[in-house]
Amino acid sequence: MAQADTTRSSRRNGHEPAAAVDDPGASPPRSSSLVDKAWRGLGGIVQRRIPRADLDERDPDFIREQLPLFWLFSSIWFRGEVRGLGNIPDEGPVLLVGNHSGGNMIPDTMVFTVAFSTYFGVERAFYQLAHNLVLSIPGLSWLRKFGKVAASPNNARKALSSGAALLVYPGGDYEVHRPSWQGNRVDFGGRKGFIHLALEQEVPIVPVVAIGGQETALFLTRGERLARLLALDRLLRLKVLPISLSLPWIVNVGDFGHIPLPAKITIETLPAIDLRAEFGPDPDVDEIYDHLMRLMQDALDALAAERRFPVLG
């Protein structure tokens, strides 16, 4: 019954429920143990909590009223600096593709969302794809008013076809929990779905490169093996169970929130790329991916060269 509910709620939120079945790395089904049943129950609860993907939940008035609070965090705590917003087309759908840092506190997303909303005005529709788990945490429903929707191809299509700007982090939970000493590395883990999406929807890609997020805690490991061992990938779509040193927990396993260190966040928005104009009418996805990785890594290297000290920037 829990499985049936999970399937139904997955469809409801724009996810294809077959993903877990198709995953060759997933553990075989074990129905007998109590622990397994408990995990399945938890997975079902999380899936049921993922809200319906409704673009109408984005609330420009709410965003406008909250902007001063987030501007304060962004300006004072993170000393945020966002450059090159003029590279984003003034209107029409656009796919903003970013490297993701800072664990589950996602400081780079906050700094960028504030800058985008003040630059283009809250009236411009702007959505961000977020991990299911983030959207299912109690008390975070206000994130949906900011334009956060569950990360899935269907939701992304829905947002772009409505004419909105869409921010995606292809590296997702894999990249955001990379060890701090890999902080200046763009790592999408080979995920190329966003390129298919941009080609299908015929929208330009704007790379968004951020630095500083991985200095908001000392991230030690993604804990991929641990996540597989606990079957989190099958049940919660979590490929990682990160371990970091952060406040106030000191040793933080799973990263269900922490107080981020006040690291300076700098974000560079690169010029828009019209994929078909640049790579031909029938472009090679791998070639585009390699090009984007090079472009974003070069920009990240340049931002890293500007930094003199960790955290201070």
Partner 1 sequence: MRIKDDTVMAAPVQAVWSVISDPERVLGYMSGVTRWAIAGDIPAGLGARYRMLFRIGAAEVGGLIEVVEFSAPYEFAWTSITGLDQRGRWRLREAPGGRTKVELRLAYGIAGAGISGWVAEHIAAPSVSRHVRQTLRQLGRLVEHEQLRERAARRRAGARGS
* Residue with tokens 């929807």, as numbered in its chain: 201
- Amino acid type, 111: V
Query: Which residue of 2, 17, 71, 87 would you call a contact of partner 1, by CB under 8 A?
Result: 71
Q: How far is the CB of 118 from partner 1 (least distance, A)?
A: 4
In the complex with partner 1, the residue whose CB is nearer, 48 or 83, is 83
And the tokens for 279?
A: 């790579």
C-alpha to C-alpha distance for 80 and 134, rounded to whole angstroms = 23
Number of residues that bind partner 1 (CB under 8 A): 26
User: How far lies 102's CA from each of 39, 60, 69, 219, in Å?
Assistant: 27, 26, 20, 9
In eight-state DSSP terms, residue 26 is S
Does residue 228 touch partner 1 according to CB under 8 A?
no
Q: How far is the CB of 75 from partner 1 (least distance, A)?
A: 3
C-alpha to C-alpha distance for 297 and 116, rounded to whole angstroms = 22
Closest CA to 57 of 157, 150, 132: 150
Q: How far is the CB of 309 from partner 1 (least distance, A)?
A: 19
CA angle 3, 34, 24 (to 5 degrees): 50
Segment contacting partner 1 by CB under 8 A, of 2-10, 111-119, 220-228, 278-286 = 111-119
Does residue 79 touch partner 1 according to CB under 8 A?
yes
**Site mask for partner 1 (CB under 8 A), range 4-43, x = bound:** ----------------------------------------
Could you tell me how many helices (H) and strands (E) the chain has, helices first?
Answer: 14, 10
Three-state secondary structure call for residue 150:
strand
Of residues 145-174, which lie at the interface with partner 1 (CB under 8 A)? none
Query: Which residue of 53, 114, 150, 151 would you call a contact of partner 1, by CB under 8 A?
Result: 114
Does residue 76 touch partner 1 according to CB under 8 A?
yes
- Amino acid type, 136: S
Does residue 91 touch partner 1 according to CB under 8 A?
no
Bridge-partner residues for 187, per DSSP? none
**Site mask for partner 1 (CB under 8 A), range 43-62, x = bound:** ------------------x-
Query: Which residue of 18, 35, 38, 72 would you call a contact of partner 1, by CB under 8 A?
Result: 72
Strand order in the sheet with 81-83: 81-83, 266-269, 205-211, 94-98, 165-168, 126-130, 148-150
In the complex with partner 1, the residue whose CB is nearer, 66 or 154, is 66
Q: How far is the CB of 128 from partner 1 (least distance, A)?
A: 17
In the complex with partner 1, the residue whose CB is nearer, 111 or 296, is 111
Does residue 121 touch partner 1 according to CB under 8 A?
yes
Q: Helical H runs in 138-256?
A: 142-145, 153-161, 172-176, 193-201, 224-229, 232-236
Question: By the criterion CB under 8 A, which residues form the site for partner 1?
Answer: 61, 64-69, 71-72, 74-76, 78-82, 85, 111, 114-115, 118-119, 121-123
